[in-house]
Amino acid sequence: MAQPDLFAPPSPARDILSPGALLLRGFALDAAPDLLAGIAAIEAQAPFRHMVTPGGFTMSVAMTSCGALGWVTDRRGYRYAPHDPDTGAPWPAMPEAFRALAERAAAEAGFPGFAPDTCLINRYIPGAKLALHQDKDERDTGAPIVSVSLGLPATFQWGGLQRGDTVRRLALEHGDVLAWGGPSRLFHHGILALKPGHHPATGATRLNLTFRRAG
Ligand code: MD3
Ligand code: FE
């Protein structure tokens, strides 16, 4: 557009949340149909499942993965595995559209050459949530994490390195992308219980893609 849009929404298109953490509003909107088609193909091979934490709780978020590795949890602990424990098969390959989007988003955040070897796909229905946690099962925490939100909006919580650090809240919407690297890579974060609703792209669910270099 030739003129600045005076009626644009107030939320900025890009926002530095903390050093190394970048929010890119709507960055995945163009890719969303390809991403959703990719998820449909992946879940046909590696269905969403509710895994059990080491403490014995069944997660409210349903998960699957693609790429060389997939994130799994059971009574033995959290880890990355090259095979889907439910089928014994390798995880589905990471679609090129997934990889390319993650690489572009990481580059925008100052992390060129991001080469994720896993994409965790989280599916939320109303009431599903992810308690405040750190992502620290990856071998090299020097690589960033890129996350893509699709479908119903959610309230994202993020704090700092310490569990007791002040927690901030942020609404994440369809097409929003976050990149976390550098000093923010090990920040605590979570998702509050999803509110009921309907989204034209995903129906009554929220989907989140999380790209990581795990191996
Ligand atoms: C901040 N997923 O799968 S993505 C997860 O929306 C996870 O499903 C959430 O946290 C979701 O582990 C949040 C945003 C995110 C991802 C990784 C981070 C934020 C992060 C790593 C460090 C700091
Ligand atoms: Fe996480």
Q: Which pLDDT does position 6 carry in this prediction?
A: 75
Q: Which pLDDT does position 94 carry in this prediction?
A: 98
Residue in 68, 173, 49, 45 with CA at minimum distance from that of residue 119 = 68
Calculate how far, in angstroms, residue 187's C-alpha sits from the geometric centre of ligand 1: 9
Q: How many CB atoms lie within 10 A of CB 13?
A: 11
- C-alpha to C-alpha distances, 35 to 59, 96, 207, 209, nearest whole angstrom: 24, 10, 10, 9
In this structure, the chain runs to a length of: 215
Overall average pLDDT of the 44-55 stretch: 98
Q: Is 211 annotated as a binding residue?
A: yes
Q: Is 91 annotated as a binding residue?
A: no
Cβ(138) – ligand 1 distance below 6 Å: no
Atom of ligand 1 nearest to the CA of 135: 21
Atom of ligand 1 nearest to the CA of 71: 3
- For the whole model, what pTM was predicted? 0.94
Residue in 46, 209, 214, 39 with CA at minimum distance from that of residue 117 = 214
Cβ(145) – ligand 1 distance below 6 Å: yes
Q: Which pLDDT does position 1 carry in this prediction?
A: 47
To the question of domain 16-212 being in CATH 2.60.120.590, the answer is yes
CA 14 – CA 26 distance, rounded (Å): 9
CA 173 – CA 152 distance, rounded (Å): 7
Domain edges within the chain: 16-212
